[in-house]
Each structure stands twice: as structure tokens, then as C-alpha cells.
Amino acid sequence: MVPKTSLRLRCSIWGTNVHPEALTTQFGVAPSKTFLAGESRRSYARDKAGWDWESAEAGPDIEAILGTFLQLFAPHEAVFRQCVAEGAVVVVSISGTTEVGVVDSPAEAASRGYTVPEPFAPFSDADRLELFIDSATLRFLSSISASLRTHIDIALEGGGIEG
């Protein structure tokens, strides 16, 4: 089975000296979300301001998502570096969902040609999900002192989400 995968990238800048309107102007990119220090969020007030941009949800093509990210933000390396110099944190997050089938019996495993140790335990019939991040992206993330976070949920075919 080829897993059905959907990925998304988010670039976040948070800090006490972050000015969301100025970042929007400097990047020339509309953010997905901004917030100011002191704004309330549910039952507490934020202690930092923030600027978030999120890509459109895409299929499994991480290279295309990273290409869009670099095209939009690599020309603004100095803006990121200034934010970090002023105490901001930059986080790039790759998140998504991949749907996999489950082989749930020894008979099904045998019919598909799998060799299964005893005792049998259900397993995924999909190849592993691999995120390849090229050296240009890694260099850019390093140059702007960004942290990279990933979170891929696994959805069982016809079932719920396991995180």
C-alpha cells in the first residue's frame, strides 16, 4: 500500500521584541496568525508576541513545500537574524498525517507474503514515511538559528488517528 500522506510547514517567530506588523511588511508575506504580548489566550495572557506563516496542505512532496518556504523566506535571512539577535525564537514545524493499512491476522500476513514472527502482532502494511530535508534548507535553517520540529500522525485505514 502506498500511504496517503498530507504535509504542511509552519514558520513561527516568537519573542518579547517581535513586531508582527513589521515582519509582515518586511517579508511581504501574509501571516497565518499573529499575536501581541499581553493578548489573552483562553485563560491566560501571552507573554510574547508572535508571527506564524503556514503553507497550504500538500501531499507527500516535502521538497515542494520546502522549496516554497525557501523561495519566500531565504531572501529575508537578515530579518530572521535580527529577530534572533533581539531574543526571538524561530521554529519551523513540519506536520501532517499519513494513512496506513493494518495487517491484523496471521492469515492476512501469509496471503500477502509476509513472514511474521510468533506471537503475531498487527503491523502496518505501508512503507515508512521519510522526510528528506536538503542541504540548502538545512543551511538556511542553521543561518537563521531555527529549530526544526516534526509531528506526523498515523491514521489507520478506516480508523482513528494515533499520534
The predicted structure's pLDDT at residue 102: 84
Q: What is the mean pLDDT of each run of 10 residues along the chain (163 residues)?
A: 80 95 97 88 74 91 93 97 97 91 87 86 77 93 96 73 44
Q: Tell me which residue of 130, 14, 156 sits closest to 61, measured CA to CA.
A: 130
pTM of the model: 0.80
* Pairing of β 146-156 and β 89-100: parallel
Distance CA 163, CA 160 (A): 10
Contacts of 84 (CB under 8 A, 6+ apart): 90, 144, 145
The predicted structure's pLDDT at residue 159: 52
The number of folded domains in the chain is 1
The predicted structure's pLDDT at residue 74: 97
Distance CA 50, CA 36 (A): 6
The predicted structure's pLDDT at residue 2: 54
The predicted structure's pLDDT at residue 33: 93
The predicted structure's pLDDT at residue 161: 43
Domain of residue 155: give its range. 4-162
